[in-house]
């Protein structure tokens, strides 16, 4: 008798497999794109996978109000130099946090940056497309 396989899907767990998008050193194997348009955010091997808890509001367009609802994400690509990005936009700083948005379609946040740390830009693994 065949056993039914029940795969547990935890909604807090990333939908992408981290080992498929990062190499042995934790760098991004693939290029990183906007989820909504073909805009290239990062080339491969430019960021490092890190674990960090951070709350991001749900995606919205730049000129809309930031939704109060959001999600706490744990997996981010860390970029240490702003010049590393191929394309990225920023929202206005609120409480010293700027959201990273797509430079072309202006959807975001795809990540965040604290104005207190000029060497840390975080891209949420769940908010971008890898390939």
Binding residues vs Zn ion (CB under 5 A):
34, 36-37, 39, 102, 104-105
State the minimum distance, in angstroms, from the CB of residue 33 to Zn ion.
Answer: 8
* Pick 32 or 79: Cβ nearer Zn ion: 32
The Cα 75–Cα 106 span in angstroms is: 22
The Cα 7–Cα 131 span in angstroms is: 25
Query: What is the three-state SS of 16-43?
Result: CCHHHHECCCCEECCCEEECCCCCEEEC
* Pick 73 or 102: Cβ nearer Zn ion: 102
State the minimum distance, in angstroms, from the CB of residue 105 to Zn ion.
Answer: 3
State the minimum distance, in angstroms, from the CB of residue 92 to Zn ion.
Answer: 19
């Amino acid at each position: 008798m065949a056993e039914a396989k029940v795969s547990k899907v935890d909604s807090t767990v990333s939908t992408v497999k981290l080992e498929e998008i990062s190499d042995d050193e934790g760098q991004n194997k693939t290029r990183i794109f906007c989820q909504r348009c073909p805009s290239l955010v990062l080339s491969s091997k430019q960021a490092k996978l890190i674990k960090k808890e951070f709350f991001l509001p749900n995606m919205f367009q730049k000129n809309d109000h930031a939704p109060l609802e959001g999600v706490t994400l744990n997996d981010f690509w860390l970029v240490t130099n702003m010049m590393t990005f191929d394309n990225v936009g920023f929202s206005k700083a609120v409480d010293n946090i700027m959201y990273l948005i797509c430079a072309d379609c202006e959807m975001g946040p795809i990540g965040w940056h604290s104005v207190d740390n000029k060497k840390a830009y975080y891209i949420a693994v769940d908010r971008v497309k890898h390939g």
